[in-house]
Amino acid sequence: MRNIIISLILLFGVGHPAVAEEALQDNPPEKHVVVKGDTLWSIAARFLKEPWRWPEVWNLNREQIKNPHLIFPGNVIVLSMKDGKPQLQLENANPASRLETVKLSPRTRSEILALQAIPSISPAIIGPFLSQPLIIDDGELERAPEIVGTEEHRVVVGAGNRIYASGMGREDGLDWNIYRPGKILADPDTREILGREAVYLGRARVSRFGDSTTLDITKSVLEINRRDKLVPVTEDPVNAYVPHAPERAISGSIIAAYGGVAEVGQNAIVTINLGQRDGLEVGHVLAIYRRGITVPTVDQDGKKVALKLPDERSGLMFVFRTFSKVSYALIVQSSRPVHMLDVVQTP
């Protein structure tokens, strides 16, 4: 079977506009050896001023962007010029060839390769957000198993403490996330209700099932109380979508930030009022703009008027999880603080 990595070197036309040499960094490396800890975003930023243009220099089509071939530690990415346009290629395309000596099913081999391939963005930052529901429908947590008691009748518990819950079955597994209903998210312009956040409190593991199931809290990030809810843990892999701009103009707003702060910067997680219904998908890169304020002035006739100053670009975000009406994004670049209600749009 032809190695899936070799097919990444796609140098035939697939409809992307050509990338000009000016899109390169001022002093890009001629080659880069991929190491553990690299991400597609960090590698792209070594070569390109606009990292979301990564698919263009690889000449990837839409399907390859959504289901990319894999890049591994040990690969050497080489920058070259063709007809005056920059392009990237893999110099050595098979550091995972050692896996060929083991006979595996295609699915198992793909899973092993996927685990070893470098991710789009750092899983250390977004990992918890991939295994937590984050956005819930009205009533969903009300139906979930509930903490009905704590060891020694404590009011507040945390990691290392024991809790008791009702409504749990063996078929749901041993590991559970702990939540409580959070704030309602509304569109800042239309006031449409977009969903309700679930506040992540920690994780617990079942030690004994019964009419009241016994669990030990293995992790806590906030205080845990009676009547908090439990949801089975479902681990999702870090999605390997290639960073890319939306194919059409999209515009929205930042409506919340993780931790409830009003001002954030690079590596912060934010919520935006755009989702799957708006055409947003994992891997989309959006530009962030500070909304221009409105100032009083006088027109040519001497009348007092309000003048809106232009929006100023302040950074970039990478969308890593989408729901129907909202999405979560990582701020990957910021030249100034990012605020709630800042504009996000196609770069």
Model pLDDT, residue 67: 62
What local confidence, expressed as pLDDT, does residue 259 receive?
73
Confidence (pLDDT) at 66: 65
Q: What is residue 236's predicted lDDT score, i.e. its pLDDT?
A: 54
Give a yes or no: residue 246 inside a domain.
Answer: no
Regarding whether 139 and 38 lie in a shared domain, the answer is no
Compute the distance between CA of residue 271 and CA of residue 294 in angstroms, rounded to an integer: 25
Does one domain contain both 36 and 65? yes
Tens of pLDDT along the chain (347 residues)?
A: 323 333 333 322 233 455 666 688 888 888 999 998 888 888 888 888 888 888 888 777 677 666 666 788 888 988 888 777 888 878 865 544 333 333 444 444 444 444 477 878 877 777 767 666 678 766 778 889 999 999 989 999 999 999 999 989 888 899 999 999 888 899 999 999 998 888 889 999 999 999 899 999 999 988 999 999 998 887 655 556 788 899 899 999 999 988 777 889 998 999 999 999 999 998 899 999 998 888 999 888 888 988 888 889 999 999 998 988 999 999 999 999 999 999 999 99
Check whether residue 310 and residue 340 sit in a common domain.
yes
Instruction: Flag whether 245 is in a domain.
Output: no
Tell me, yes or no, whether 169 and 210 share the same domain.
yes
Q: Are 268 and 210 in the same domain?
A: no
Element (H, E) at 112: helix 106-116
SS3 percent helix, strand, coil of the chain, rounded to 5, is 20, 35, 45
Domain that holds residue 218: 132-232
Q: Which residues pair with 175 in a beta bridge?
A: 205
SS3 assignment, position 190? coil
> Coil, helix or strand for 180?
strand
Report the CATH number at residue 322. 2.40.30
The pLDDT value recorded for residue 120 is 82
Q: What is the pLDDT of residue 96?
A: 44
Number of structural domains in the chain: 3
Tell how strand 213-220 and strand 251-257 pair up.
unpaired
